[in-house]
Structure 1
Amino acid sequence: MPCGGGESLEGDAAIYRQLLSISGHRPKVVLICARATELPCEEIAAALLALGAGKVETLTLGARTDGEKPAFLETVENADAVLLLARQPLRLSTLLGGTSLARLLRRRNAEGMPVAGSAAGAALLAEHMLAGGESGPTPRMGGVMLAPGLGLSNRIVIDQGGLLGDRLGRLLAALALNPFALGLGLDADTAAFIGPDNVLEVIGSGALTIVDPADIGHSNIADAAHNAPISMLNLRMHVLVHGARYDLDFRRPLG
């Protein structure tokens, strides 16, 4: 469940309410963040409790060894939902990657526990994490940085930052390097809820942009010089708003 960085807790309320509704009656929610995170974890925890969570616990990762702590692992083992919070994806991914906590999150998610990522935590959910890059509408060679993510899905690359024109170049550059994936661009206060059937539903006040390179034609990715524009032909793009659904397996919007 990737969620675009919220502009306000009030704007995120519909997203949090949906997360709680699929997590059971008065669910136990675990927030996972890096020690240096700038996100308001206490305020988010209070908002979740006000919306119906039974209990909210925060796990703050300050070192990779925290991902091996038995108390942290037990907390996630007994959780009904997990929310990853970050302003910079590498800050959290370098603390989580390869730890017992990361493996536990993948297992619990495969068993049906919802795992959400908010702000830069959204990018972390994918196997190929979009860790940073240049703003602007044109994809450029070297204009995007990819790193290993948590790996809950290998079907998508997620960019949750900025307006469409600011992030489109980054997303296209990432797809030029990974043309088997779908690109998801999330507006603020907008989330993509991906169910066990790999059908995505949009929740929130903004839009979700999906870029599909499945039928890509010519691309000069192998020959482009550093910072040169990347040519990509025959892309498909969809813009989905609240309530719209999309089948990730068959790559098509649903009525």
Structure 2
Amino acid sequence: MDNVKGRLIALGGGDDDGLIKLIKSEICGIQSHIEVIATATPQALDAVDSGNAYKEAFEELGCENVRFMRIDEEHEADTSENITRIGKADVIFFTGGDQLRLAHFLQGTKLLELMHRRYLEEDIIISGTSAGAAVMSDRMIYNGYGHYSLIRGEMKTAHGFGFIKKVYIDSHFAERGRFGRLAHAVAHDPDYIGIGLSEETGVIITEGNQVEVFGTGVVTIIDASDVRFSNTRQVEESEPIAVENLKMHLLVNGYRYCLKEHLFQPIPQENRKAEA
């Protein structure tokens, strides 16, 4: 995706005050339109509560045009009102929950197609926390726990929203022991790069390529481009995997990773965008 004009802002879960403040500082204007989508929350009443809570959090910072968009079993995505609202949005924010629900209700819709077009062509922010972060790429991990995730068949992936390609984004990374499943995913698909987000820590992805960290924690980058051996496609179901020469980088605020170049580098002080 060359010449992408939009930005992705993804948080690994946990306390999201830093993400909300970052979005506010990035849009720089109380008149900016923010759309909150809580479809990932399984229960309807919980989704309403979650959507309204985020709406109020943005409003407490002075944002005046924040709306909660319901998309679920009883509220379809492709209404004329939703299309109009997404057409005006400066920020789209996906809450946490179940990323499979987000994919189920939004994939194949005109609404998601509009989000894609605007992300490619305009300076719009697509943001999310937890499940709302995991769904951003063309593929997402939705299963795999602890050491079991290093057994063939235990780590599972599905199609995501595709704002960015050839990336796996995993949330609650350190806190829920998800190194194994992200390593398994990129070893199985070595043209993908894994981005593991700790809680209260996230990334800003610009131009579909440059990954910068915000927050106080660590972002883990897993790169399988130089793997010399992997048995992930040959080993029998329920057997552990073996991988040689899988690379890992630990990224913190003040550093960035360029996905296309596989490059880890410090950010010049005058160019830093992502503050803790």
2:220 and 2:265 map into 1 onto residues whose CA distance is: 15
1:61 and 2:67 aligned: no
3-state SS of 1:31 partner:
strand
Is 2:97 the counterpart of 1:92?
Answer: no
Q: Which of the numbers 2, 21, 38 marks the counterpart of 2:10?
A: 2
For structure 1, which runs of at least 5 residues remain unmatched after alignment? none
Quote the Cα distance in structure 2 between the aligned partners of 1:2 and 1:159.
10
- TM-score, length of structure 1 as denominator length: 0.91
User: For 1:17, which of 2, 14, 21 is the aligned residue?
Assistant: 21
Q: Is 1:196 aligned to 2:202, yes or no?
A: no
Matched, 1:30 2:35: yes
- Give the direction of change, closer, same or farther, for the CA distance of 1:61–1:165 in structure 2 (3 Å limit): closer
Q: Could you say if the C-alpha distance between residues 136 and 53 of structure 1 is closer, same or farther in structure 2, counting changes exceeding 3 Å?
A: farther
**Comparing 199-208 with 33-42, which one deviates more in the overlay?**
33-42
TM-score, normalised to structure 2's length? Answer: 0.85
Report the more deviating stretch, 245-254 or 90-99. 245-254
> Which runs of structure 2 are paired with 1:65-144 in the superposition (5 Å)?
66-111=76-121, 112-136=123-147, 139-144=150-155
Q: Which amino acid aligns with 1:103?
A: E
The CA distance in 1 between the partners of 2:54 and 2:21, in whole Å, is 12
Which is worse superposed, 23-32 or 205-214?
23-32
Runs of 5+ unmatched residues, structure 2: 1-8, 267-276
Residue aligned with 1:153, SS: coil
Q: Would you say 1:46 and 2:51 are equivalent positions?
A: no
What is the alpha-carbon distance in structure 1 between the residues aligned to residue 240 and residue 63 of structure 2? 47
Instruction: Supply the distance in 1 between the matched residues of 2:140 and 2:176 (Cα, whole angstroms).
Output: 20
Deviation at 1:162, TM superposition (A): 4.3
Question: What letter matches 2:88 in structure 1?
Answer: N
The residue identity in structure 2 corresponding to 1:53 is: C
Secondary structure of the structure 2 residue equivalent to 1:209: strand
Superposed displacement of residue 164, structure 1: 6.1
CA separation of 1:79/1:146 partners in 2, compared to 1, >3 Å: closer, same or farther?
A: same
User: In angstroms, what is the RMSD of aligned CA positions?
Assistant: 1.9
| Distance across 2 between alignment mates of 1:47 and 1:165 | 26
Cα displacement string for residues 112-169 of structure 1 (whole angstroms, at most 9, x for unaligned residues):
2110121111111000111222223862211211111100011310110342671011
Q: Is the 8 A contact 2:210 2:256 kept in 1?
A: yes
Cα drift, residue 76 of structure 1 = 0.7
Check conservation: 1:3, 1:117, Cα contact below 8 A. Answer: yes
For the residue of structure 2 that corresponds to 1:48, the secondary structure is helix
Q: Measure how far apart 1:65 and its partner are.
A: 6.5
The structure-2 alpha-carbon separation of the partners of 1:99 and 1:61, relative to structure 1 and needing over 3 Å to count, comes to: same
Residue aligning to 1:167:
178
